[in-house]
Amino acid sequence: MIQNIEVILADVPTIRPHKLSVATMNTQTLVLVRVVCADGVEGWGEATTIGGLNYGEESPESIKVNIDTHIAPLLIGMEASQVAKAMAKIRKIIQGNRFAKCAIETALLDAQARRLGIPLSELLGGRVRDALPVAWTLASGYTAKDIAEAETMLEKRRHRIFKLKIGARPLAEDVKHVLAIKKALGDAVSVRVDVNQAWSELEAVQGIAALEAGGVDLIEQPVRAENMAAMARLAQRYAVSIMADEALHGPQDALAFANASAADVFAVKITQSGGLIPAAQVATVAQLSGVSLYGGTMLEGGIGTAASAHLFSTFADLSAGTELFGPLLLTEEVLQTPLVYKDFMLHVPTGPGLGVDIDMDKLARLRRK
């Protein structure tokens, strides 16, 4: 039986300013959900987002209020092992709130997998890989600084895929910045860009042509999420891969984008999809439609990153890699034992449930009072 649901906000500084077209992050607010069951088993989930309300319609504060006030009361007293039944109830009654629903579902699945003594990935169909390639985002905004940061990552054998956040500056400046980094790093390294919806279609036509010619491998969400027609025209016009990210809020959006041939790659994010199971459905739509998969992040800490890793380990195709570097951007670790990043890969935890445990003393120090 579900006995208690607690939402914890923890403010953690980042290792450097992280500049997106929608916000500059100096601190990340982790949104952690703890589900306590009557049999003594606990499960954890995460609903972390980016930049308050700059990125999406849920903020850390609204997630906490909505779980505490509206979602938790629906679940207290329900059978904890019947995760699908619990999620069906809140998906029927609660509108929207995808991030909150994801954290609840993750916590319930974590608890159930711990109860059964198996990794969470085995409740999601079973893993086909034990490690995931991980991209690093270069987002200082300074060309020389980004090049130096990338070279350090290569030397450490931590990352050899680099994503550049662009769209906040004039188009010509952004293109010059990206191509200088690509030239410095060479052909052995994959360089991608994330525009975070900042361009008009005309700017995208101009920008993508220059970036494609310069050897950039992938263009993420170049135009507004709702402009599916423009995404389709861009995907059909250029050989370089066009990836949908903010446009995908679950399997229905994925199906619409696949039917419109509006993206070559889908960025799968468990929170944006509304949970691990809907995110798996997004991946299924992609695989049936010939769309490649990329494992996305909301810059979560260790809990959300581990949850995503368990799901992504079950994908038959993960040709575009992942960006599960969230914990590496933070100055504090909330796990007892950090996730393992080695030889350009994130190694998927193998213990029961998420396979990670919270450092409660550290969380007590970081949590918002």
> Residue 357 to residues 326, 333, 338, 363: CA-CA distances in angstroms?
17, 11, 9, 11
Cα gap 222→242, rounded to integer Å: 8
Q: What angle do CA 288, 265, 187 make, to 5 degrees?
A: 130
Q: DSSP letter for 122, please.
A: G
By C-alpha distance, which of 163, 125, 50 is closest to 312?
A: 125
Helix (H, G, I), strand (E, B) or coil at 306: helix
> For residues 310 and 348, is the Cβ–Cβ distance under 8 A?
yes
Q: Write down the catalytic residue from 101, 163, 165, 269.
A: 165
46 is catalytic: no
Cα distances from 308 to residues 77, 83, 124, 261, in angstroms, run: 28, 18, 11, 26
Amino acid letter, 208? I
Phi then psi for residue 119, to 5 deg, are -65, 150
Is-contact 43 107, C-beta < 8 A? yes
Of the residues 42, 58, 220, 323, only one is catalytic, namely: 323
How far is 333 from 107, CA to CA, in rounded Å?
Answer: 19
Phi first, then psi: give them for residue 306, nearest 5 degrees. Answer: -65, -40
Q: Is residue 165 flagged as an active site residue?
A: yes
The percent of the chain in helix, strand and coil, each rounded to the nearest 5, is 40, 20, 35
User: Strand 136-138 vs strand 161-165: parallel, antiparallel, or unpaired?
Assistant: parallel
Q: Please give the positions annotated as active site.
A: 165, 323
